Amino acid sequence: KAGVTQTPRYLIKTRGQQVTLSCSPISGHRSVSWYQQTPGQGLQFLFEYFSETQRNKGNFPGRFSGRQFSNSRSEMNVSTLELGDSALYLCASSLGESSGANVLTFGAGSRLTVL
Amino acid sequence: AQSVAQPEDQVNVAEGNPLTVKCTYSVSGNPYLFWYVQYPNRGLQFLLKYITGDNLVKGSYGFEAEFNKSQTSFHLKKPSALVSDSALYFCAVRDRSSGSARQLTFGSGTQLTVLP
């Protein structure tokens, strides 16, 4: 069974640009959550999508957005990139909604460097 | 609000010795608790979780964790460490009762180094 697939794995952008990251969940999983991982802030929750609807959102500015498609694949977009957006962006999927005792299965991440 | 504290940024242990990675949590209700491990250039991998019942939870790769409600702790343990256990370990919590705190809140992580 294929795991959570994130593309691209690495990318470099310059300030002011925008970026789109993609996540394909485990087959059959309907929930996708996104996290930002940085050395200073650790793992911070961005948002969660379930059945194409945003169910929960973390404390990030509106430059960070996402969506989920009918096949459960998800994308996140960051506009007007800032140096502080450099991070590892992790996607995680779960069978049901990201709640309770449900376990998240993580992808390997997309490492974004903003110059 | 829910939160997790991992008081040690770094834990070093000799191979073959027991290891403990500490975690304390704060929730308004009762918790669901998780441990994940991250190897370099990889995502997080699930190790174990506490839902209810037995306070000692057994997980993958010989790891176990002990839930202590009075101390609000969920320390990760392994009787005999392996060099291959060297990785970054994250504790995480969800508040069982809060509808708004659905997301998993992670601790800051503890880098475990097992010395040969």
For chains A and B, CB pairs below 8 A equal: 55
A89 to each of A14, A67, B104, how far by Cα in Å?
A: 17, 15, 15
Residue-level pLDDT at A102: 82
Residue-level pLDDT at B24: 97
> Among partner residues A42, A104, A107, which is closest to B104 by beta-carbon distance?
A104
Subunit contact A101:B51, Cβ cutoff 8 A: yes
Nearest CA in chain B to A109: B43
Residues of B in contact with A107 (CB under 8 A): 43
Whether cis (ω within 30° of 0) applies to the bond prior to A8 is yes
Does residue B107 belong to the interface with chain A, where contact is any CB pair within 8 Å? yes
Mean pLDDT of A1-12: 92
CB atoms within 10 A of CB A90: 25
> In this model, does residue B75 exceed pLDDT 70?
yes
Q: Which amino acid is at B98?
A: S
Quick one: which of B53, B56, B96 has its CA closest to B75?
A: B56
If one compares B51 and A84, the residue with the highest pLDDT of the two is A84
Residues of A in contact with B90 (CB under 8 A): 43
Mean pLDDT of A29-47: 93
Residue-level pLDDT at B54: 87
Subunit contact B104:A98, Cβ cutoff 8 A: yes
Residues of A in contact with B44 (CB under 8 A): 90, 92, 104, 106
Mean pLDDT of B88-102: 78
Residues of B in contact with A4 (CB under 8 A): 43
> In this model, does residue B101 exceed pLDDT 60?
no
Residue-level pLDDT at B102: 67
CA pair distance A22, A45, nearest whole angstrom? 16
Lowest mean pLDDT among A46-55, A76-85, A98-107, B68-77: A98-107
